[in-house]
Structure formats: structure tokens, C-alpha cells
Amino acid sequence: MDGEKSTSLKWLWCIVLALPSLLPLAMHFHFANSADEFGTGFIQNDQPYYMANAREHFDAGKISLTYKNPNDWRRDSPRIYFQPQTLFLGFVQKFTGADPALIFAIFGFVFAVLTVRVAWSLLLEFVPRADDSWFANLAMFIWGGGLFAVAGLATMLIAPQSDLALYDYLTMYDPFQGWWFLNLGRNLVFPMEAWYHFLFLGGALMLARGKHFAAIAIGLLISISHPFTGVEFLAIMTAWLFLERIFWQQKSTSWISIAASLVLLVLHVGYYQVWLGTFPTHRELHEVWELAWELKAVDMILGYGLVAAFAFWTCRSSTQSASFLSQSKHRLLVVWFAVAFLLANHEFFMKSVQPLHFTRGYVWMPLFLIGASSLQRLTQYFNDRGPFKYATWVLVLLMLLDNATWLSVCSIDGRHNSAHSKTDFRAVMAVLNEAPRETTNEKLVVVSNSRLLSYLATTYTPHDAFCGHGYLTPDVQQSERKVSALISGGAFIESLDGYPQLVVLDFNGPSVDTKTAAETKNRLRTCYEENGYEVAELESSDSFAVFQCTPAVSRQQLGNSDEN
């Protein structure tokens, strides 16, 4: 009975520690309501894309294990992508019919709690629970950060600027205003990151416990879940296993485990860098993804300096270092940090491909775990000396300050919410879903002056977007210009000739409003009819209008034309 009570209490603490991850979502709806807008439930621009991928498994009229890019409207866009979590989310959405944002949020919070639980076990591997101060260390592991807020506040005091508010100072040094998540806890805000971190920490826990083949199985799951996290974990695991056997002469590390880990790493790189590259559609996007999103020296100092100080103190002398490195699981932390740090700064030895993707707390976490024993000894020292007892709380506050202030910024400043709509997007999506199709698996191309509505159509409807996600739409800038020319000047989009289309006019979007709505409607109708399309107005309201534009040529003729 006591064991059951202890287990229940432990899970309760995990839920409590995961709860702050829901604050940005709650404030997303708060700001939408206060601005008389519609909140989509997706707090950042990339998030709807994952649920769009999920429904792609079923949008062909039958289940498909692979999916295509829903932001690529072309008929020949290949089904070459697969992630297990995407397939699972597709199943849930297909058979429940629930709102995609709700499914995504529940998925995210479940794995946020599970990530906290695995992090709890991982921390116990390196710092056994000694007294109640251990829970402070756990809280710092989950929600600890760096010195970004301190640096921002110092700047506000030393060199204030009249055009900056408090929340501007708090995140002014944090990459992407704090939205790149250089430590663990903040990653729990994004559902997919919660999933990746659950797997990564689970794999690290298995390695620390010497369960190599369990870690390899988890490595396979990470590999097929995400390219960046996959290569990072597999590189860490392979390097550590190899060094354990060759350099440290650990017979418990088998050659089979080394070979299996290496094969996974080679297959991972082969799939993402070689095989996918044989498809022109993927190469187009890959060229767009090769962005120089890099950490600056000041970012690393402020982001990692606090935990690095404790890690340094743990290995402050040759004797201390030798003692620390005498344990295999401690050597794992050193390899983990070294590989993650090199990947996060790979622009120094290869072409830069979004090095920031390799941060996401993966550099911060091993530094924290290396210094965790020193951190615990310091908190115990404070607690054992009455007058210094409150110094523990000062230390905890300092460690938590970055994430505490960032979450507060989410509560003060609604600018981070990129998926608010002044138009009732659910009403638009209902019309698009009810649009008549010749077959149940027919996909129409959504064209809209609202990038958000066009993008959300891939998440809420079976249709594809002509101009959706900025980094996933082929030649997105040219597509934007074509949409603008269509809406404002009636210039037909030649590349869509022969494609059945749904044209959405958002009167709260660019190039059209309620005053020019009638003129724009007539111009669109004339444009499509002159190019051999039948035009039907499906819906018209004070804020939007939807037209279905169907090519007069039959679907059979189109199929024959494609074959020729």
C-alpha cells in the first residue's frame, strides 16, 4: 500500500512539474479572446503542419503508411515520409473526428508528463535522493535555464532604451526571443518536442543502466521519428559504445551492440541525406532548409554558463576528473555533451544546416547532470546551516529565472501567438470539407489571400495548399506573388491549369476587404471562366467567401494527359 501511495505521489509530482508547459497554450486562447479573434490552438507556426501530415495517411481514401508533403499541391508529389507518431495521430484523428489542435495538445501533455518521469529516473542515476533538497534539484533539471533573463535585466538597468518594455529585455539575448528552447523544460511546450525528449531521455537512461540493446531499440524509434534528434542520439550512442570498448576496454560493451548502433546511424544518414535526396520535390525543400541558424558565443555563455560552472566544479582537478570518469555512465555524459556541442556548432567544419536544431536542451542536459552532484552538495550545505537555508531558494530562483520569466512573457505579450485568425477559420474549414468532389479521395488545391487559412486547410481538410507553410511550400515566394496577382489583378495561375481549386477570400486578409469584395468576386469568376473553369460560390459571409473552380475538361481526360 505504501508503495502504491509513493508511486501515485510520484506521478502527481510529474503532472505538477509538467503543468507549466500548458501556460502558453492557455494564454494563446486568452489573447485571442481579448483581441476578438479566433485561436486555433496551435501556438506556433510550425505546429499545424504535424497534424496535416497525420491526416495525409488517410486522405488518399485508404490508409497509407507513408505520407506526402501536404503543402505540395502537385499531383506527382511522392509519398516518401514516415514517422510513427504521425501515423498514430492520424489514427486518432480519423477514428475520433476530434479537433486536430485538441488531439495535438493532449498528445503533447501526456508526453510532457512522461518526459518528466523519465528525467526523474535519469537524475536518480547520477544523484541518488539524499534529502528533501533533491526535489529542488529535480525542479531545476526540468525547468532550469541560463542567464538570459539576468543579462536582460542588467541591460535594462545599465543601458535602458525607451522603446523597449520589460518583456523585451527579458528575452533580448535568448535566441528567437526564447522560442528555440536551449534547456529541457521549455521543450515540453511543443508536443512533438515532448515526444522526442521522452525518447531521447529514455534512451539515455537505458545507456546509463547498461541496457545497450534496449537503447538501440529506442534509437531506432528516435531515428524514424525525427532527422535531427535521431542523428544526434545515434551519434552519441555509437561514439560512447565505441570508446567504451576500444579506449576504456569495457568487455560489457559487445561488438554486436557497436555494430548495430553504427548500422542504424549509417541507415539514418542514408535515408535522410541520400535516399530522400533522389526525389526532386524533397531536394527543393532541403535547399530551403539549409539555413544558418547558429548559436553565437554570447548565446552559449548565457545559455550554458550556469550549468557549465557546476560541471566544471565537479571536474575541477585531475583527481576529481579521474574519479568522475571512472564510471561508465559518467563518461556517457561527457560524450553526450561533446557530440551535442559539435553538432550544435557544426558550421565550423561543414555546411551549416540549422545547427540550432541540435540544441533543444541536448547540450544543456549533460552539463546539468555532470554538475548535479556538486549542485546537490551545495544545497545540502545551505540546508545544514540555518542562516544559509534561504540561499537554497536563491539558487533555485536563479536557475529557474529564465523559464519563469519566459513563461511570464507568454502571459504578458501575445505577440508570440502566430496562429490567431480574425476570420472564423472553423467556418471556412467546414465549407472546404463539404465541397463536392468527384471521388472521395480527390484532392482540391486551396488558394487564398490568407496564408493562415490556406495553411490550416491542410490540417483541417483533405485538400492541399497552393501556398501554405513558408518552409514547406515549393518556391513559396513565387507562389505568394501568383496568389497576390490572382486576387488583386485577376491573373490566372498557369501552373494550376487543370487542377480543381477552392478559392478562399478572407476579407480580413491582404488585397481584399468588405468594400472591394464584390469587385474581387467578379474578377475571380471572370478569370476562371475565361480559362475554362466552372465557378460555383459555395459560401459568402461578412468575413469570407469560398468559390469552387472546376476545370471543364473531364477527370479522365486529365488522367490521359498526365500519362502522355
Residue 290: burial class (beta carbons within 10 Å; 0-12, 13-18, 19+): exposed
Determine the average pLDDT of the residues in 432-457: 92
Task: Compute the distance between CA of residue 130 and CA of residue 144 in angstroms, rounded to an integer.
Answer: 20
What angle, rounded to 10 degrees, do the helices at 191-208 and 212-223 form?
160
Q: Quick check: helix, strand or coil at residue 364?
A: helix
Give residue 559's pLDDT band: very low, low, confident or very high (50, 70, 90): very low
Could you report the per-residue pLDDT of 339-387, keeping only the tens digit for each?
999 999 987 776 767 777 889 999 999 999 999 999 988 888 887 776 7
What pairs with residue 536 in β-bridges?
Answer: 548
Give yes or no for residue 117 having a pLDDT over 80: yes
- Pairwise CA distance, residues 33 & 43, whole Å: 14
Contact (CB, 8 A) for 536 and 546: no
Q: What is the pLDDT of residue 556?
A: 42
- Among 281, 241, 248, 247, which residue's Cα sits nearest to residue 263? 241
pLDDT at residue number 511: 86
User: Based on the number of CB atoms within 10 Å of its own CB, is 184 exposed (0-12), middle (13-18) or buried (19 or more)?
Assistant: buried
The structural domains of the chain, with segments of one domain joined by +, span 131-181+231-416, 420-563
* pTM, 2 dp: 0.94
Residue 318 has pLDDT above 60, yes or no: yes
- The pLDDT, as a whole number, for residue 4 is 67
In this structure, are residues 184 and 119 in contact, taking their beta carbons and an 8 Å threshold? yes
**Does domain 420-563 match CATH 3.30.160?**
no
- Say if CB 302 and CB 151 are below 8 A apart: yes
Q: Compute the average pLDDT of residues 418-443.
A: 89
